[in-house]
Amino acid sequence: MNRLLAIAILMSSTIASGATCSALLDHRVNSLLGDKEDLCQYAGKVVLVVNTASYCGCTPQYKGLQALNEKYKSRGLVILGFPSNDFGQQEPGSSKEIADFCDRTYAVKFPMFSKTSVKEPGGSAVFDGLAKATGQRPKWNFHKYLIGRDGTTVASFPSKVEPESAEFTAKVEELLGN
């Protein structure tokens, strides 16, 4: 009975938003605090998926990601952070430690999910789908994927591309539909 109720709620929210869930978002993942979340809730939005780490030279990008979140959230941008310890063991903490760090250091308000393996195929269905769609798998922390509102348009940006760079924000604005 609970499963049927959950399916009915999911279907009604998808119908209400007018968007169908693409294969790239059709995943259930654990939030950083342990709650199971369905990424289909973001169907119809521009979704930025990024693998993060707390102890990396790129970690200050959290500030730019949060700034993007504040600037574009009302226009339909959703940022999804996936901590990963795949590169240089730069995300060694527990989920609670990661959540505390993100809140205390960068006041992160966008959704964060449990630690995820992104480097190799089979580590994460979310990142496997994004790698297949773009032909690019993260080579370091803070690799960014932008998924368009249609759920199929995807752009990939390596770690060196800052979230507030002209190149990146132009693509965000293009997908949001100025």
Hey, what domains does the chain have and what are their CATH numbers? 19-176 (3.40.30.10)
Distance CA(110)–CA(79), nearest Å, equals: 6
Active-site residues, by number, are: 56
Please name the residue that has the structure tokens 């993942």: 29
Confidence of residue 172 (pLDDT cuts 50, 70, 90): very high
Residue 12: its pLDDT value, please?
Answer: 42
Residue pLDDT, tens place only, 42-66: 999 999 999 999 999 999 999 999 9
Residue 133: its pLDDT value, please?
Answer: 96
Let me know: does 52 contact 84? Beta carbons within 8 Å.
Answer: yes
Let me know: does 45 contact 151? Beta carbons within 8 Å.
Answer: no
Mean pLDDT of 138-145: 98
Confidence of residue 2 (pLDDT cuts 50, 70, 90): very low
Q: Is the pLDDT of residue 14 over 70?
A: no
Sheet holding 77-83, edge to edge: 77-83, 46-52, 144-147, 154-157
Residue pLDDT, tens place only, 71-130: 999 999 999 999 999 999 999 999 999 999 999 999 999 999 999 999 999 999 999 999
Q: Is the pLDDT of residue 174 over 50?
A: yes
